[in-house]
Structure 1
Amino acid sequence: MYFTSARDVYLLAVARGVSFLGDFMAATALLLALQERGAGGIAIAAVLIASVLPVVALAPLVGRLVDRVDSRILLTVVGLGQAASCAAMALTTNVWVLVGLVTVLASGVAITTPTFSALLPEMAGPDGIGRAMAIGQTANSVGSLAGPALAGVLVGAFGLRTPLLIDAVTYLAVVAAGLLLRTRRRVSAQERAAAHSREWKIRDDRMLLALTVMIGALVLTVNVDMVVGVFFIRDTLGGSPAEFGFVEGAWTAGMLAGGWLAAARARTDATLGRLLVVMHLGTGLIVLTSGFAAMVVMLYPLWLLGGATNGAENNFLGVIAARRVPAALRGKFFARFGAVINAANLLGYAAGGVLVDRFEPRHIVIGCGAAGVLAVALCALPLWRAAAAEAPAGAPASAASAVASS
């Protein structure tokens, strides 16, 4: 299997992997530092909300930026701004200043994530997208795996400043990617007009619409656990900062394996849709089961399995989107899809901040898992029906076929 630009596929993977290492290290370090300083659920929820609110609020603007501005300009300028913001975070201990700087960082992520996502199909080509997704996810998983574990060790030894300074350096990988990638997105006005003339909208693609709703519903119900998790592991189960980091890392370790298993062979869109229903149900069940853990070590196999399903889900989603979204509109799609998912994150974080000060962490985790299973069960039927309505050949319908060649 050949890529349109193998060099760029691997370069992009390395750049994102380094960036993920810094992101996850800084995020874990912030949660641990706030918890150790006695900050309550509201403060932790505020940091998590700040990490996703810009992605939701800026989605309409970001979609236009990614589809109109040269990707090299976006990546270099935004990467430099993120590095400066993260360095500033290392110099303050004020919670609300940290929240403000996290908002600035997240504004950059709101731009770079859809930029990278829109570039990948161009680098990989229509036949290489599944394998390219697996390569990219491998790098992301390695960074995500090392980040939380490293944060737990560094916070315990040096406090918050060191991991934040390291994160500032990792953002330079985004700048390097912008300068070194040969593949660039410079969608012309004619290409945008041609894409719009097809009148493609996500609401007209039953599979993508149903998939977006189902993922958003699961994220909304389960991500309350993101706020509660640090209290559940540290307080309820008596875990150390390092153990919290290793539990977080176990999920991303599973994602590495899941991404490659998902890329093992080509599948039709209909098959991918059905598999996504099953895997999302599995994710909800895993979170539900984790609420009954009696010790930290019991979470490791559950989080490895949950990460594996999550890795496969991400791969399948990337393949489906690359097949079905017109090339000139990929920035808009990924920005708006990200906005839906992060809006669900936002609501989940807000709910978690309220609930964690009122209920036992274990009860919240169990409730999150049960609500996730129910949410997927309710949203799965439209996706299953959309998969059944797909062409037997499984290829994207005629509009999507035009996507692959555009």
Structure 2
Amino acid sequence: MSFATADPAVPADGPPDGSRWRDVYLAAGARAVSSCGDFLAATVLALTLQSAGAGGLAVSGVLLAAALPLVLLAPLTGRLADRVDSRTLLVCAGAGQAAVCVALAFAESTAVLMLLAALLACGLAVTQPTLAALLPELVRRSDLPRASAVNQTASSVGILLAPALAGLLVGQFGARIPLLLDAGGYLGLIAAGLLLRTRRGGRRTAGPTGGTGPTPAAAAAWRLRRDPLLAAMVLAVAATVAGVGAVNVIEVFFVRETLHASTTTFGLVSASWTAGVLIGAWLLAGTARRARDDAALVRSVLVMLGVTCLLIGLGATVPAAGWLVLLWLVGGIANGGLNVFANLVMVNRVPPQARGRAFAAQGAAIQGAGILGYLAGGIMLAGFPPRPLVAVTGLAGLAVVLAVTPVVLRAARRERAAAPEQSGARERATLPTRT
């Protein structure tokens, strides 16, 4: 069932007082701080372990510890995002993450690092669905692609800065200084939570779809599996991440050992992908706005997935890290478009009161798939050199995209076929009854 229809019972043009751009930029700033903080900590730990001689299993172990809470806690954090005041969640999560970063700066054993990385990710498991569900409450529906691009830009800037800062600071000062700076950065998340005027969760229902929108009962009954098109899209993205996700572990060894690049160069290579995500979000926001319907958006997601995997596979052919920057930039552009298309489909099809659960479920599916990739990367690195493994991950991702395409296209055709019937039913429901 689509919640993006023109049903007169569901306001389609957002808050009556217009889009709240001040809050959009504050929420985007909070997203940037959260993204930068988590990615900075993960990159610092990966570089520290690799420089200390740890193998692929140790690096993948830290990445796994940082991903598991997003999967295991999704049922809880999704409900928290829907039922607890968003200001309370952002302030408490920011304070907790700052404290964990201070502890990380002084931790030494790999086991303690993994435990603290997991605790840091617990904060992200709360802030991620909270901020994702808050964004549609801030703008009119026609402004949502632009707001999504602003949000994606902020997240991309945070992730863009994180690896470059990590590479530079670790190379100059070791791991402690960047982690302490990271702890200070989380204070910005607390500030954003306090300054946001729009609040969601608890007893608050204000927002663009407030008023006479879907009832709490309808929101409580929402399940991802009951929406075939949305479920097919999430399956496609998650399955592709499972196929290609090992590159996140392999990349560190490919750049540092195969291409013989410095930690600073590794940071720049990682940042180039995120720069592409930023560019792609803005370039393709207009395409998302002009899409005929959700089925067209989901097909665009498939195309972006295929392009992304192709660029990763081509990365195995480069003779030097500089060429990887160009490929990662283009791959990131496809990734940015994918994010905008997928987020718009989620907002269109999920009732406002259930968006915290929806974004948490989507994140859990993708993070769970990423965990499989991390495990595969660590295992494969124990027996094979990095370069052929980069090619294998790209090809695996393409194979998965081809495998899930029939499922997604079948769901899209059913959506298109059902649309005229649903539209006719709504029109008949609004006609006056003859006596």
TM-score scaled by structure 2? Answer: 0.87
Deviates more, 1:98-107 or 1:12-21: 12-21
Q: Which residue of 2 aligns with 1:54?
A: 69
1:80 to 85, 95, 98: 95
Q: Are 2:189 and 1:174 aligned?
A: yes
1:106 to 118, 121, 138: 121
Distance 1:61 1:17 in 2: 23
Q: How does 1:119-198 map to 2 (within 5 A)?
A: 119-186=134-201, 188=203, 193-196=216-219
Q: Which residue of 1 aligns with 2:78?
A: 63
Distance change in 2, residues 1:325/1:196 (3 Å): closer
Q: Which amino acid aligns with 1:36?
A: S
1:326 to 329, 351, 367: 351
Residues 174-193 of structure 1, C-alpha deviations (whole Å, 9 max, x = no match) = 21122111111135599773
1:383 to 408, 423, 435: 408
Distance 1:103 1:111 in 2: 13
Q: How does 1:187-266 map to 2 (within 5 A)?
A: 188=203, 193-196=216-219, 199-265=221-287, 266=289
1:355: Cα distance to partner?
1.2
Distance 2:413 2:283 in 1: 23
1:194: Cα distance to partner?
2.6
Q: How does 1:33-52 map to 2 (within 5 A)?
A: 33-52=48-67
Q: Which residue of 2 aligns with 1:306?
A: 331
1:385: Cα distance to partner?
2.5
Does the aligned pair in 1 maintain the 2:136–2:144 contact within 8 Å? yes
Does the aligned pair in 2 maintain the 1:137–1:259 contact within 8 Å? yes
Distance 1:192 1:101 in 2: 40
Instruction: State the aligned residue count.
Output: 397
Does the aligned pair in 2 maintain the 1:192–1:329 contact within 8 Å? no
Distance 1:65 1:184 in 2: 13
Residues 25-63 of structure 1, C-alpha deviations (whole Å, 9 max, x = no match) = 222221111111011111111100001101111111112
Q: Which amino acid aligns with 2:336?
A: G
Q: Which residue of 1 aligns with 2:381?
A: 356
Q: Which amino acid aligns with 1:194?
A: A
SS in 2 for 1:168: helix
Distance 1:391 1:109 in 2: 36
1:21: Cα distance to partner?
2.5
SS in 2 for 1:389: helix
Residues 50-91 of structure 1, C-alpha deviations (whole Å, 9 max, x = no match) = 011011111111122111111111111111001000111001
Residues 258-284 of structure 1, C-alpha deviations (whole Å, 9 max, x = no match) = 000121251221221111111111111
Residues 221-263 of structure 1, C-alpha deviations (whole Å, 9 max, x = no match) = 1111111110011111111101100000000000111000121
Distance change in 2, residues 1:293/1:183 (3 Å): same
Does the aligned pair in 1 maintain the 2:272–2:332 contact within 8 Å? yes
Does the aligned pair in 1 maintain the 2:42–2:66 contact within 8 Å? no
1:121: Cα distance to partner?
0.3
Q: Which amino acid aligns with 2:97?
A: Q
Deviates more, 1:153-162 or 1:167-176: 167-176
Q: Which residue of 1 aligns with 2:295?
A: 270
Q: Which amino acid aligns with 1:227?
A: V
Q: Which amino acid aligns with 2:217?
A: A
1:97 to 99, 103, 112: 112
Q: Which amino acid aligns with 2:192?
A: A
Does the aligned pair in 2 maintain the 1:6–1:123 contact within 8 Å? yes
1:19 to 2, 11, 34: 34
1:391: Cα distance to partner?
4.2
Distance 2:215 2:165 in 1: 44
SS in 1 for 2:53: coil
Distance change in 2, residues 1:140/1:196 (3 Å): closer
Q: Which residue of 1 aligns with 2:340?
A: 315
Structure 2 gaps, min length 5:
1-12, 206-213, 427-435
2:365 to 324, 340, 348: 340
Q: Are 2:297 and 1:282 aligned?
A: no
Structure possessing the higher radius of gyration over alpha carbons: 2
Q: Which residue of 1 aligns with 2:9?
A: none
Does the aligned pair in 2 maintain the 1:121–1:129 contact within 8 Å? yes
Q: How many percent identity over aligned positions?
A: 47
RMSD: 2.1
Distance 1:155 1:120 in 2: 34
